[in-house]
Amino acid sequence: MTGPTVTRVLVADDQTVVREGIVMLLGLLPGIEVVGAAADGEEAVALVARHRPDVVLMDLRMPRCDGVEATRRIRAAYPGTEVVVLTTYADDESLFPALRAGARGYLTKDAGGEEIARAIADVRSGAAGLSPQVQLRLLERLSGAADPVPSGEPSSAPSPATPAEPPDGLTAREAEVLGLIAEGLSNTEIARRLYVGPATVKTHINNLFAKTGVRDRAQAVAYAFRHGITGSPQ
């Protein structure tokens, strides 16, 4: 009889007390095994090569090699290892470089054990493991709400709701699916929203990934933000 699936996790954080606290917290969560802990990005890359974990919990601001560069190297060399950023910072200068580097999850360090466990499970299943605050930030930027035009000044950019030619040869339906990914919907939820089958959604996702050059859902969210692509109306 097959036992429960265990997710092997590596922790990377340059602060000893934080790193040890995360390791201790993960040790209390069912279905998670901590296989190593790194004090900087260089060590994280080396330990991933040695242990091949399923998920890395990655701090961003570390000496020698920061979390963004470590994420980029890990995702390029070991695509079977997912990265969830766990950091103090949720500003745009931290968030979007991490997503572009290949991180599929992004949490701030006020996250509790349940939220961390959910993000780890989400990225293992192919979804984006984003905290509610990060999802809200992405949606705000996607809608343009984070950067309102000052009163009395005309806006040169079209509203995200304004129909436009999708970039990179995307069809209108592929752009719609991309927008729904950016809203955090799973394949099943997208299929329900668009009244199509899950296989059709998967085909659209494969096509839009190939056309845009993104590697995963987190990068797709960042791409959607950059191009002002939103999902279908409720």
Q: What's the pLDDT tens digit per position in 146-161?
A: 444 444 444 444 434 3
Beta carbons of 118 and 129 less than 8 angstroms apart: yes
Q: Which residues, 6+ apart, have CB-to-CB distance to 129 below 8 Å?
A: 84, 104, 105, 106, 107, 118, 119, 120, 121, 122, 123
Phi and psi dihedrals of 217, rounded to 5? -70, -35
Q: Which residues, 6+ apart, have CB-to-CB distance to 12 below 8 Å?
A: 19, 37, 38, 39, 40, 41, 43, 44, 56, 57, 58, 59, 62, 67, 70
pTM: predicted TM-score of the whole model, two decimal places? 0.63
Q: What is the pLDDT along the chain (234 residues), one digit of tens a residue?
A: 455 689 999 999 999 999 999 999 999 988 999 999 999 999 999 999 999 999 999 999 998 899 999 999 999 999 999 999 998 877 777 788 888 888 988 888 888 888 899 899 988 888 777 777 777 677 666 665 444 444 444 444 443 433 457 888 888 888 889 988 888 788 888 888 888 888 888 888 998 999 999 888 888 888 888 888 866 544
